[in-house]
Amino acid sequence: MTASDTLDLSVQPFYLWDTTVAPAQETEEYAGLAMLDSVFAPRAEAEVRQHPSMFRGHTLAVNHQDIVSRPSQGVPAWTFAALLILVGLLCLYFRQHKIAFGSLVKSVFDSRAMDRMLRGSNLIRTFQLIPMGLLLLAVLALPIAQMPFMVQWPSPVVFLLLTLALGIAYLLRNGLFQLLGTVFDSNAAVTLYINSNYLYHLLLATILTPLLFLYFYLPGGSGIIIYIILGIVAIEFILRVFRGLKLFLTHSSGSRFYLFYYLCIVEMVPILLLIKYFIA
């Protein structure tokens, strides 16, 4: 064997990339590997984020005593008694003045039917009509008195005070109507409008009272019932305003423009203020 047959590793290396890879390319590849190592390497100071368990709110103690000691979130006992009293007062009023429900419904749409019902039921004096509005105010004050935004007093006290305040405001409003009717020489139109309001309010109180039973005692249905109540109140308000405009346009001998302007302010502005208050 001669010397030429032997492999000189120092002259021709076995691994070809040892001589073909440039020094700059080799440095770049090592930098890329180092970057991968830094990405997959565990962090020394890793942030630990703790997420609440989805079952955390349903955990119970071993003895389950927290359920027994949890305060009741039901309807106060006095609410049922108040509803029964309201139903009794409505029935007593209908019976005392011999008011038929069908005639009441017709009277809120037809002026002649309203006049026949008022005369037939002997409702020709103001003090006989005032209970119609007061019954509606009591019906509306009952759910409002138990809402969370009310003052943290005993709810029966809030209910009585709220009913009293609404009753005073209601009587002042009707008195202002009568005063402006005298100023604008439209006593007949104003009287008819106030009487029609009483009938609308009695009909609304009659419809809302059984709905309050469902609102307070129907499991899981209070949200739907409150929307139904608000819808009925809105429909009653719209019908009453259009009925008032019709009465003023047909029975008013004074300035129709000022009566229309006043009707919009007194009827619509308080409703808009209430809507703004509840939204805010």
Domain that holds residue 92: 79-279
* 251 closest CA partner among 179, 176, 201, 184: 184
Tens of pLDDT along 57-89?
444 444 443 333 333 356 888 999 999 999 999
Residue 233 covered by a domain: yes
Residue 50 covered by a domain: no
The predicted structure's pLDDT at residue 50: 54
Tens of pLDDT along 170-213?
998 888 888 877 877 778 888 888 888 899 999 999 999 999 99
Residue 9 covered by a domain: no
The predicted structure's pLDDT at residue 219: 79
Q: Which residue has the higher pLDDT, 1 or 92?
A: 92
Instruction: Determine the number of helices (DSSP H) and then strands (DSSP E) in the chain.
Output: 11, 0
Residue 15 covered by a domain: no
Residue 1 covered by a domain: no
69-78, 233-242, 259-268 — most confident range: 233-242
DSSP state of 58: G
Tens of pLDDT along 5-58?
555 555 555 444 445 545 555 555 555 555 555 545 555 544 445 555 544 544
The predicted structure's pLDDT at residue 250: 78
Residue 31 covered by a domain: no
Q: Which two tokens stand for residue 214?
A: 């469902």
- Strand runs labelled E in the chain: none
* 225 closest CA partner among 234, 215, 216: 215
Residue 40 covered by a domain: no
**What's the structural domain count of the chain?**
1
CA dihedral 247, 253, 254, 255 (to 10 degrees): 60
Residue 260 covered by a domain: yes
